[in-house]
């Protein structure tokens, strides 16, 4: 790994690293926050944060205001980039923000030209945790969260591999991507085929199939400009009722899709995960 930058924050360390990804066949960047007392003698659990469209590893770390409470709780935070990047990595030919660079959607692409590099599901579930757990003073106890496209990713990852995560939460997730324009565009390109073949990457469809004991918390702003057309949080509630899974969805009137919303409620999510990780 190559250290890109390091900053002291609330007694801990925020670091950005670049490394060569085997699954994505390119260099990837991620950020990690280690709380003050994290050490080989006292390893700490990890919250993985998956960011949304157009974001990088930097957005959450700089805008969410999560590190102060994470330092007190003894919780590490890892934020990967949202897609592979590089001169050889495929991008939307029209330069659209919702496909290609910055828009990996946390899937393993099967279609050309995306499949060579866009293996983000395998990256965030296997390669990145293995790297983090081998290089830093952290335990194998993991929680996961995310925003928008990253909220979709966090829910899908946790529902597909609930044994790997203690808890999952999401802010403004794309809850039913097979039924919204963002999801249809991305999945058509990355996965090909028809919408009924994309169910493994649709949190609402996964949630309806079986009962989960995994703690699930979702936050949604009532003034979110993408609420009706793209996000559809009501599908999560419907699916949870179908499978008798406990899911908490908090609606907040007046809040939008921005990091102002995330920063307003990130402490509640950190405490939610900390309680299930045994830190409270």
- pLDDT digits 0-9 by tens, 99-129: 999 999 999 999 999 999 999 999 999 999 9
Closest CA to 183 of 201, 168, 169, 197: 201
| Dihedral angle sign, alpha carbons of residues 206, 237, 157, 178 | positive
| Dihedral angle sign, alpha carbons of residues 102, 108, 110, 113 | positive
- What is the rounded distance in angstroms from the CA atom of residue 270 to the CA atom of residue 99? 30
Can you list the residues of the chain whose pLDDT is less than 50? none
Residue-wise pLDDT tens digits, 54-89: 999 999 999 999 999 999 999 999 999 999 999 999
Closest CA to 175 of 239, 121, 223: 239
Count the helices and strands in the chain (H runs, E runs).
9, 9
Looking at residue 172, its pLDDT comes to: 98
Catalytically active residues, by annotation:
148, 224, 257
The burial of 116, by beta-carbon neighbours within 10 Å (0-12 exposed, 13-18 middle, 19 or more buried), is given as middle
- What element of type H or E holds 139? strand 138-146
Q: Where are the domains of the chain?
A: 2-276
Determine the length of the chain: 280
Name the class of domain 2-276: alpha beta
């Amino acid at each position: 790994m190559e250290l890109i930058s390091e900053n002291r924050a609330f007694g801990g360390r925020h670091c950005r690293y670049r490394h060569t990804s085997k699954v994505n066949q390119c260099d990837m960047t991620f950020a990690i926050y280690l709380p003050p007392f994290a050490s080989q003698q006292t390893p700490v659990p990890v919250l993985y944060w998956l960011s949304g469209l157009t974001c990088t590893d930097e957005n959450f770390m700089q805008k969410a205001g999560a590190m102060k409470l994470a330092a007190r709780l003894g919780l590490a935070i890892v934020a990967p980039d949202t897609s592979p990047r590089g001169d050889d990595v495929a991008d939307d030919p029209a330069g659209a923000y919702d496909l290609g660079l910055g828009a990996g959607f946390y899937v393993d692409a099967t279609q050309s030209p995306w499949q060579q590099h866009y293996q983000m599901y395998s990256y965030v579930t296997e390669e990145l945790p293995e790297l983090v757990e081998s290089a830093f003073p952290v335990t194998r106890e993991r929680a996961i969260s995310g925003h928008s496209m990253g909220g979709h990713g966090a829910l899908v990852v946790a529902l597909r591999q609930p044994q790997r995560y203690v808890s999952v939460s999401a802010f403004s997730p794309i809850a039913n991507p097979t039924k919204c324009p963002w999801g249809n565009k991305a999945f058509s390109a990355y996965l090909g085929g028809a919408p009924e073949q994309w169910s493994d990457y649709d949190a609402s469809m996964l949630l309806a199939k079986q009962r989960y004991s995994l703690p699930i918390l979702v936050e949604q702003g009532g003034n979110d400009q993408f609420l009706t057309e793209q996000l559809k949080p009501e599908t999560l509630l419907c699916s949870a009722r179908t499978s008798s899974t406990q899911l908490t969805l908090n609606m907040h009137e007046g809040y939008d899709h921005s990091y102002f919303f995330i920063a307003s409620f990130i402490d509640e999510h950190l405490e939610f995960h900390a309680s299930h990780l045994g830190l409270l």
